[in-house]
Structure 1
Amino acid sequence: MTTFQLLMLGASAFFAFKIYEHIQTLQDPEPADNKETPEETRSADAFSVFSPESLILRADESFEEGDMQKALALLTEANAKAKSNPDVLFKIGYILQQLNDNDEALKYYKEALELDKKNDYIHNSVASIYRANGEFISAKMHLNESLAIDSQNAITYYNYGNLLVDMNHPDEAIEMYKRAIEINPDFDEAKEELQKLS
């Protein structure tokens, strides 16, 4: 598996957990009372009867089905209704990254990170974009932040190893791959990369 696929796997697990959370909190939309003022009719709520939670749930389902455009549209609507939700911003960024719009994805990741600085998934995702753009120092900074949050995340060590290979630091990369394998002995991708450097 590539780093990108591992990030997708981690994000999919994250989405599955969020789907479960949202199912637990879903409520039926409130019926309209037809007494809205003109200002209220211009709000995001006026364009959809769905709550942000139900929109997120539907977006997660669309993502799982592989319909990235629909998931993105639903998340964008949820974001318009429930601003400052780091999970929604992260998901939008992640889908944009899958659609190869790294610049736009990075904007959403940074916004999510402002709201949730202790999210290692976001730091890993930001690092992957910086790595793809050749901004290795910035990528390294975010991987260090991710490890400070969760020092037992094998994927972060794997991603760090890949970054160090790109930076032409094979000895340091070997240590990162070894650490990933110590944490997850079944981490075949890390074993493959380690074998390439041995």
Structure 2
Amino acid sequence: MALYHNSRFSLAKLIAPSCLIALTFLLFPTIGSSETKEIISEGTYNMGDGETPSVAESRALLSAKQIALEQVGTYVESYTKVENFQLTKNEVQVLASGIMEVEILDKKRTLVGDGIHFWVKIKARVNPDKIREMANKIKFKEGTIVDDYKKIQEAYEKSRREIAELKKQLAQTKGKKKKKQVEVKIADDEGIFQANQWLDKGYKHYLANEYNKAIEAFSSAIALNPQYALAYYNRGNVYAAQDQYERAIEDYNRAIEINPKESWAYNNRGVAYSFERQYDKAFEDFNKAIKINPKHFEAYANRGNVFADKRQYDKAFEDFNKAIEINPKECLS
């Protein structure tokens, strides 16, 4: 009895087929062609000392995208309700982000006092015909997909708060040496912001099943922020989706080294070990995932599959039953 292969890897949950009665690929009905929805939005950013123009412009662009995404999310939510797609609000946000295409219409830089004011105008497009396809992908690749999307948005917000505070510090700091120290922190924050952008791009490439581009994006995020556990984790997931289990395990190792409290990294590494037939290591990882998160039903299901592979059926049924007890909706859908 094999663990789920390929598509269940990546940002998705890795769950045993014994826990799933059937997999329906056409989760949602086919809908007719509709007109593309277009939204115009603007974003601004005031660059101060120590910041670079390219990153400042990216922050203005991000602001415009976030404003557009709010409207796109409202549109997608209404559309999915009409079509009875049964998505959660968080899944709607992931869907909206995944299908929104952006075109820069105009941008300007204006000197304001000692800084530069950046203004960006964009057109966001949403093709309704892509909604069903993306909704299917989100349902098929769920698991950590919503949590990872939240982490990306939280990282952006954290960077926004930190750069605002650093700019205040720089304005109030006296002395060349102390100013230089703050400027170094600003440069570090810009690197983290750019890493977040690459992670965001990799995430969208993943949703589009563009695995090679996703790996390139996650690798760029790691180059900018070598301590980015989420980037290693997601790149490992993509390697696993391509059956490159040794590379996947290497990335999971690094992710766990940086953040040893992430149950999904243990679960996914355990699945990779299972495909490599390193069952003892797989058991250890599933046990760790369960210890960190006793409600991690996917880890129970995957551990049950390994028990079944080893013909320890009583233990396998115990784990499958536990997975069903924790989340009967997912396991019996």
Both structures adopt the same fold (TM-score exceeding 0.5): yes
How many Å separate the matches in 1 of 2:149 and 2:4? Answer: 20
1:39 is aligned to none
1:154 is aligned to 297
2:318 is aligned to 175
Residue 82 of structure 1 deviates from its aligned partner by 0.6
Correspondence 1:55 to 2:206:
no
Correspondence 1:16 to 2:149:
yes
Return closer, same or farther for 1:56/1:26 CA change in 2, 3 Å cut-off.
farther
Correspondence 1:101 to 2:244:
yes
Correspondence 1:140 to 2:140:
no
What is the letter of the counterpart of residue 280 of structure 2?
Answer: I
How many Å separate the matches in 1 of 2:214 and 2:154? Answer: 17
Per-residue deviation, residues 67-116 of structure 1 (Å, max 9, x unmatched): 11111111111111111111111011111111111111111110111111
How many Å separate the matches in 2 of 1:64 and 1:187? Answer: 21
How many Å separate the matches in 1 of 2:266 and 2:322? Answer: 19
Per-residue deviation, residues 13-63 of structure 1 (Å, max 9, x unmatched): 3432233324435669xxxxxxxxxxxxxxxx9xx9x81111111111111
Determine which of 74, 88, 96 is the counterpart of 2:231: 88
How many Å separate the matches in 1 of 2:155 and 2:207? Answer: 15
Retained in 2: the 8 A contact 1:26–1:54? no
What is the letter of the counterpart of residue 320 of structure 2?
Answer: Y
Correspondence 1:3 to 2:146:
no
Q: Which has the larger radius of gyration?
A: 2
> Where do residues 64-83 of structure 1 align in structure 2 (5 Å cutoff)?
64-83=207-226
2:258 is aligned to 115
Percent identity between the aligned chains? 21
Correspondence 1:131 to 2:274:
yes
Q: Secondary structure at the match of 2:243?
A: coil
Per-residue deviation, residues 145-183 of structure 1 (Å, max 9, x unmatched): 111101111111111111110111000010101111111
How many Å separate the matches in 2 of 1:3 and 1:14? Answer: 21
Retained in 2: the 8 A contact 1:59–1:75? yes
Superposed CA RMSD in Å reads: 2.3
Larger proportion of helix: 1
Q: How many residues align?
A: 170
Retained in 2: the 8 A contact 1:22–1:57? no
Retained in 2: the 8 A contact 1:22–1:54? no
How many Å separate the matches in 1 of 2:150 and 2:292? Answer: 19
Q: TM-score normalized by structure 1?
A: 0.78
Greater RCO (Cα-Cα under 8 Å, separation 6 or more)? 2
Larger proportion of strand: 2
How many Å separate the matches in 2 of 1:68 and 1:98? Answer: 8
Residue 65 of structure 1 deviates from its aligned partner by 1.8
Per-residue deviation, residues 115-154 of structure 1 (Å, max 9, x unmatched): 1111110000110011111111110011111111011111
Which consecutive residues of structure 1, in runs of 5 or more, have no partner in the other structure? 29-44, 192-198
